[in-house]
Chains A and B, each alone.
Chain A
Amino acid sequence: MLKQLLLEIYKADYVSKSNLAVKLDSPVPLVEEGFAELVRLGYLLEDASLNCQDRPCGRCPYASMCQKEPLKTWTITEKGRALLEDYQAAV
C-alpha cells in the first residue's frame, strides 16, 4: 500500500486524500496514516509550515492573521524518488 500510495502521490497533480483512498480502495484514515508513515520513513516530506511560530512577530497586530496556514504541501524526497524508480521498474 505504501509504495502504491507514494506512486499515486507522485502521479497526481495535487494531493486529495479522499481521491487517493478511492484509488487505493482504502479508507481515508488509513491513507492519512500512510502519509505519516512515509514521512517517518523518509520517503515523503511535509513542507515546512507557514505558521510564524518561529518568526519575530512580537506584538504585530496582524500576527494572528498571518499564523494561519493557507495550505499544506508535500515533496517526495530523493529516497522516495529512488524507491519509485525501483518500484516502477519492477511492475
Chain B
Amino acid sequence: MPITIALMGNPNSGKTTLFNALTGANQHVGNWPGVTVERKEGQTRHGNQVYTVVDLPGTYSLGAFSEDEVVAREFILTGNPDVVINVVDATNIERNLYLTTQLLEMGAKVVVALNMVDEAEDRQISVDEKALSRRLGIPVIPTVASKRKGIDELMEAATATIRAPLNGHVRLSYGESIDGKIAELEDLLKNGDLAYPPGWLALKLLEGDEYLRKVVDVSLKLQGSDEFTRFWDEMAVQAEDFQLEIVDSRYKFVGDVTKDVVRRPEVAVQTTTDKVDRVLTHKYWGMPIFAVIMFIVFQLTFAIGQDLLGGWMATGVEYAGGLLESLLVTVNAPQWLIDFAENGVVGGVGAVIEFVPLIVILYMLMGFLEDSGYMARAAYVMDNTMRAVGLQGKTFISMIVGFGCNVPGVMATRTLESKKDRMIAILINPFMSCGAKIPIYLVFIAAFFPSYGGLVLFSVYALGILVAFLMGKIFSKTLFKGETSHFIMELPPYRKPTLGNVLRNMWDNVSGFLTRAGTTIFAVVSLLWVLAVLPVGVEPYGAESILGRIGLLIAPIFEPAGFGNWQAAVGLFSGIAAKEAVVATLGMVYAGVEEGMELVMAIREVFTPLTAISFMVMTLLYTPCAATLGTIKKETGSAKWALFSATYTFAIAWVLAVLVFQVGRLLGFS
C-alpha cells in the first residue's frame, strides 16, 4: 500500500532542499488542479518501504489568503497524506511554529524537521528539541537537509508516527467564550456531511475564513439547513474579535512553547541597542549629539577629501586637460574646438569633477552612519523637533531624501496622508541642500575658509534645515491649516557597518554625480560656451558676449547682496537648469577671463569672504532646479505651485543673502 508524506513549511525553511534530499532524481513536476501552483512529487525509500513525497507550496499560515495556502491545506485535509513533515527553520523558529500550530489544529499526524540546526548553532541559537517535542506532543528531529544530516532519523520518526495512533497532540484553548462557540458550531457542522473535520472547520469559520464560509454556505443550503445561517447572523457582530483572539491564542501558544526551549544571544545585543538609544535619541541631548556627529562628518570630509586627496584630482584634471589639448593640436583640430575643450570641458565640467574626492569621503561617512543604523535615529530626533514646532514629523523623511536630490525628496512626500502636510513638505524640500550644490560650497570654502571647511559646510546645511522649519511653520499657520496625522517611526537595531555597504552607498552617489557631470552638465556647459563666444568678433567670455549681456541684465538684482558681477549672475542663472552647472559655469567664464588660473584663485580675486557667504546662502536657498520644479508641478498637479516655489524660494534667498551682506558690512566685515 503506498504511503504518502506531505512536506509543509514556511518559504525559505529548506523544504525544497529536504524534498530533493529525500527524493533525489525520482521526482516529477506538474500543477495542482485548477490553479497555477506548482506540484512537486517524488519517491523515496526507507527500509523496504517506498514513500511518495509531496512538496506542498511554502506558506506562513493555513488561511485562505493565497492559492498556495488553499492548495496546501486542502491536500492535508482531503488528500489523505499519512504524515505531514513540517520543515521548521531553526534560525527563525518562532515564526515557523505558527504554521506548526495550525497543523496541530487540523489534527494531522505531524513530525517536525528542525532544519538548518547548523546555521542556528553558528548564530548561537540553541533549541532544546526534546523539550520542544514534549511541549508540542509530536516528534521533533534536528536536520541539515543541505548536508543530508538527520534524514534517516526523520524518516524513522515519520514511519513510527504513521503506525502510531493519533494522540498526544496539544489542543489549543482560545478562551472560554471562543471554545464554547467552537463546540456549538462543531455540533451544527457535524450534520453537514462536509469534507473537513468539523472542529477545525468551526475554528476557521470563527476566524473569518471566507473561502470555507462559502463552501459551508453552499453545502448546507443544498441540504436545506438554515441553522448555520441563523447561527452566523448572531455571530456576525463578534466575528472580528474572534479572529484577533484566535490568532492571538496561537501566538501566545508559540511564545509559551519557545520561552524555555529557545535561547538567543540577540536579546543582549538588542537590549544594548535600547540602552544606546536612550542617550542618542534623548529628548534634550539627541539634537546636540546629532549636530556634533554631523560636524565631525564634515570636518573629516575636508581633512581627508581635500587635504589628503583634493590635490591629486586637481592635478589629474589638469593633466587630462593638457593631454586633450595636445591631442587636438596634433590632429589639427580647429581653434574653436580646442578652445571649447580647454575652457568649456576642462574649465567647466573639470571644475565640477575636481571635487569628487570630497564627495567620495562625505558619502562614505554618511554611508557609515546609515549602515550603522544611526541615520534612522537622526530622523527620529528631527521628527521630535518638528513635532515640537507643530509640523508633521514624517516631513523630515522627505527632507532626508532631499539631501541627496530634491526630485525624489518631493516625490517622497507622497507618503504623507494629509494634503496640508504634503503641500508644506513639497514647498520646503528645495531648502534641503542637495548633493548637486556641494561643489558650489566647496569652491568657496577652498577659496576663503580652507581652515573652517567643516564648520562652514555644517552651517550651510543647518541653515537650510532652519529655513525649512521656519517656512513650514509659517505655511502651517497661513496657507495650509489643519490637523497633522500621527505615525510611529521604527528604529532598527544598531549594526556594525560593512565595508561593502559603505562603498556601495558611496558609489551610488558618486556615480550619479559623475554621470550628471558627463551628461546634463556637459550639455549645459556646451550651450553656455556657445553663448560665451558669440557673437563672432567680440571678446570670448567677455561682457559683450551673449552670455555676458544676459549676466549684465541680471547682475543688478544681486548688487545689494554684494555679488553684482555678470559672471556670478550667469552662474546662478545656469543653476536653474542644474545646480552643478553653477560651478561649471563659473569654471568656464573665469577660466576664459583668467587664462590658466584655477577657478578657486579667480573666485578669490572677484569675491570677498563676506560676499562668498552671501553667495553660498543664495545658492543654498534660491529657485530649485528645473527637474525639481517639474516634479513640484506634477506632484501638486498645478503649474501655479511650481511657479510659487520658484519665486518664493528666490525671494527668501535674496532677502537672506542681502541681509548677510548688509549686516556683515555694517559689522565691519568685508
* Interface residues as binary, B245-256 with A (CB distance below 8 Å gives 1, 0 otherwise): 001100110110
Contact in complex: A50, B488 (CB < 8 Å): no
- Say which residue of B270, B408, B486 sits within 8 Å of A21 (CB atoms): B270
* Distance of A16 Cα from B491 Cα, bound (Å): 6
| B412 interfacial by beta-carbon distance below 8 Å | yes
* Distance of A47 Cα from B252 Cα, bound (Å): 27
In the complex where A2-B244, A15-B488, A41-B244 touch, is A70 in contact with B512 (Cβ < 8 A)?
no
* Distance of A22 Cα from B269 Cα, bound (Å): 12
Q: Distance (Å) between the CB of A39 and the closest chain B CB?
A: 12
In the complex where A22-B271, A47-B487, A73-B489 touch, is A29 in contact with B94 (Cβ < 8 A)?
yes
- Say which residue of A9, A61, A83 sits within 8 Å of B516 (CB atoms): A61
In the complex where A16-B274, A30-B94, A65-B404 touch, is A70 in contact with B379 (Cβ < 8 A)?
yes
Name the residue of chain A whose CB is nearest to the CB of B376.
A71
Contact in complex: B490, A30 (CB < 8 Å): no
Size of A's binding interface in residues, CB under 8 A: 50
| B397 interfacial by beta-carbon distance below 8 Å | yes
| B92 interfacial by beta-carbon distance below 8 Å | yes
* Interface residues as binary, A30-65 with B (CB distance below 8 Å gives 1, 0 otherwise): 101110010011010001111010010100111111
Name the residue of chain B whose CB is nearest to the CB of A48.
B415
| B262 interfacial by beta-carbon distance below 8 Å | yes
Q: In the complex, what residues of A have CB within 8 A of residue B509's CB?
A: 62, 65
Name the residue of chain B whose CB is nearest to the CB of A79.
B240
- Say which residue of B270, B376, B485 sits within 8 Å of A28 (CB atoms): B270
| B411 interfacial by beta-carbon distance below 8 Å | yes
Contact in complex: B251, A2 (CB < 8 Å): yes
Most buried by B among A12, A18, A34, A63: A18
In the complex where A33-B98, A61-B511, A61-B512 touch, is A73 in contact with B487 (Cβ < 8 A)?
yes
Q: In the complex, what residues of B have CB within 8 A of residue A62's CB?
A: 404-405, 407-408, 435, 509, 512, 516
Q: In the complex, what residues of B have CB within 8 A of residue A15's CB?
A: 488-491
If over half of A's interface residues share one DSSP class (helix, strand or loop), that class is named, otherwise mixed; here it is: mixed
| B400 interfacial by beta-carbon distance below 8 Å | yes
* Interface residues as binary, A3-36 with B (CB distance below 8 Å gives 1, 0 otherwise): 1000001001111111101100111111011100
In the complex where A14-B281, A27-B258, A62-B512 touch, is A1 in contact with B251 (Cβ < 8 A)?
yes
| B273 interfacial by beta-carbon distance below 8 Å | yes
In the complex where A29-B95, A62-B404, A70-B397 touch, is A37 in contact with B512 (Cβ < 8 A)?
no
Q: Distance (Å) between the CB of B445 and the closest chain A CB?
A: 23
* Distance of A52 Cα from B411 Cα, bound (Å): 8
* Distance of A71 Cα from B396 Cα, bound (Å): 11
Contact in complex: A1, B487 (CB < 8 Å): no
In the complex where A33-B94, A62-B404 touch, is A70 in contact with B375 (Cβ < 8 A)?
yes
- Say which residue of B95, B370, B435, B491 sits within 8 Å of A30 (CB atoms): B95
Chain B interface residue count: which class?
35 or more
Q: In the complex, what residues of A have CB within 8 A of residue B270's CB?
A: 17-19, 21-22, 28
* Distance of A57 Cα from B631 Cα, bound (Å): 11
| B182 interfacial by beta-carbon distance below 8 Å | no
| B579 interfacial by beta-carbon distance below 8 Å | no
Name the residue of chain B whose CB is nearest to the CB of A45.
B487
- Say which residue of A22, A30, A41, A73 sits within 8 Å of B254 (CB atoms): A30
Name the residue of chain A whose CB is nearest to the CB of B411.
A55
Q: In the complex, what residues of B have CB within 8 A of residue A66's CB?
A: 401, 404-405, 407-408
Q: In the complex, what residues of A have CB within 8 A of residue B488's CB?
A: 9, 12, 14-15, 73-76
Instruction: Kindly identify, within residues 266 to 302 of chain B, every residue whose CB is under 8 Å from any CB belonging to chain A.
Output: 266-267, 270-271, 273-274, 277, 281
Contact in complex: B244, A3 (CB < 8 Å): yes
Q: Distance (Å) between the CB of A66 and the closest chain B CB?
A: 4
Q: In the complex, what residues of B have CB within 8 A of residue A14's CB?
A: 281, 380, 488-491
* Distance of A47 Cα from B254 Cα, bound (Å): 28
* Distance of A15 Cα from B281 Cα, bound (Å): 12
| B394 interfacial by beta-carbon distance below 8 Å | yes
Name the residue of chain A whose CB is nearest to the CB of B400.
A70
Q: In the complex, what residues of B have CB within 8 A of residue A33's CB?
A: 94-95, 98, 251
Name the residue of chain A whose CB is nearest to the CB of B270.
A18
Name the residue of chain A whose CB is nearest to the CB of B248.
A2
Contact in complex: B512, A64 (CB < 8 Å): yes
* Distance of A17 Cα from B489 Cα, bound (Å): 11
Q: Distance (Å) between the CB of A2 and the closest chain B CB?
A: 5
Q: Distance (Å) between the CB of A16 and the closest chain B CB?
A: 5
* Interface residues as binary, B8-35 with A (CB distance below 8 Å gives 1, 0 otherwise): 0000000000000000000000000000
- Say which residue of B274, B412, B417 sits within 8 Å of A22 (CB atoms): B274
| B326 interfacial by beta-carbon distance below 8 Å | no
Q: In the complex, what residues of B have CB within 8 A of residue A68's CB?
A: 370, 505, 508
In the complex where A29-B95, A34-B251 touch, is A52 in contact with B489 (Cβ < 8 A)?
no
Q: In the complex, what residues of B have CB within 8 A of residue A73's CB?
A: 394, 397, 415, 487-490
Q: Distance (Å) between the CB of B13 and the closest chain A CB?
A: 13
| B519 interfacial by beta-carbon distance below 8 Å | yes
Q: Distance (Å) between the CB of A41 and the closest chain B CB?
A: 6
Name the residue of chain A whose CB is nearest to the CB of B404.
A65
Q: Distance (Å) between the CB of B380 and the closest chain A CB?
A: 6
Most buried by A among B271, B370, B411: B411
Contact in complex: B376, A64 (CB < 8 Å): no
Q: In the complex, what residues of B have CB within 8 A of residue A26's CB?
A: 255
- Say which residue of A29, A48, A61, A65 sits within 8 Å of B92 (CB atoms): A29
| B515 interfacial by beta-carbon distance below 8 Å | yes
Q: In the complex, what residues of A have CB within 8 A of residue B95's CB?
A: 29-30, 32-33
* Distance of A14 Cα from B487 Cα, bound (Å): 9
Name the residue of chain A whose CB is nearest to the CB of B252.
A1
| B243 interfacial by beta-carbon distance below 8 Å | yes
| B40 interfacial by beta-carbon distance below 8 Å | no
Q: In the complex, what residues of A have CB within 8 A of residue B277's CB?
A: 16
* Interface residues as binary, B369-410 with A (CB distance below 8 Å gives 1, 0 otherwise): 010000110011000100000000010010011001101100
Q: In the complex, what residues of B have CB within 8 A of residue A34's CB?
A: 251
Instruction: Kindly identify, within residues 487 to 503 of chain B, every residue whose CB is under 8 Å from any CB belonging to chain A.
Output: 487-493
Nearest 7 interchain pairs by C-beta = A18-B270, A61-B515, A66-B408, A61-B512, A15-B490, A62-B512, A29-B94
8 interchain pairs, CB-CB under 8 A: A16-B277, A26-B255, A33-B95, A64-B508, A66-B401, A71-B375, A75-B485, A75-B487
Besides the known contacts A1-B252, A64-B511, 4 further A-B residue pairs in the complex with CB atoms under 8 A apart: A15-B490, A72-B489, A73-B490, A75-B487
